[in-house]
Amino acid sequence: MTDSDTFTAAAAAQDPAEGLRTVQALRRLADRLEVIQVDNARARGWSWQDIASPLGVSRQAVHQKHGKRG
């Protein structure tokens, strides 16, 4: 079973507590992936606008969220 299968099964669980824990785990995973990819893009010279567009947010929003790290 893959991680994706595990998340899918947990999200479809009848127990709301299990499903909600899965939602939180997915949010944490998405946040970590975003940090990694924003750092990756910045290291390759991408502008804040270049990063914001695929994320579907404004340049200001992505800069405010990630600009303080470096």
Q: What is the pLDDT along the chain (70 residues), one digit of tens a residue?
A: 777 787 777 777 789 998 899 889 999 999 999 999 999 999 999 999 999 999 999 999 999 999 987 6
DSSP H/E element including 60:
helix 59-66
Alpha carbons 33 and 10: distance in angstroms, whole number: 20
Cα distances from 38 to residues 50, 52, 56, 61, in angstroms, run 10, 9, 13, 13
What is the Cα 34 distance to its own chain's centre? 4
Question: pTM of this prediction?
Answer: 0.80
Give the count of domains, the chain. 1
Q: Which domain holds residue 62?
A: 3-69
CA dist., res. 37 & res. 65, Å (int): 13
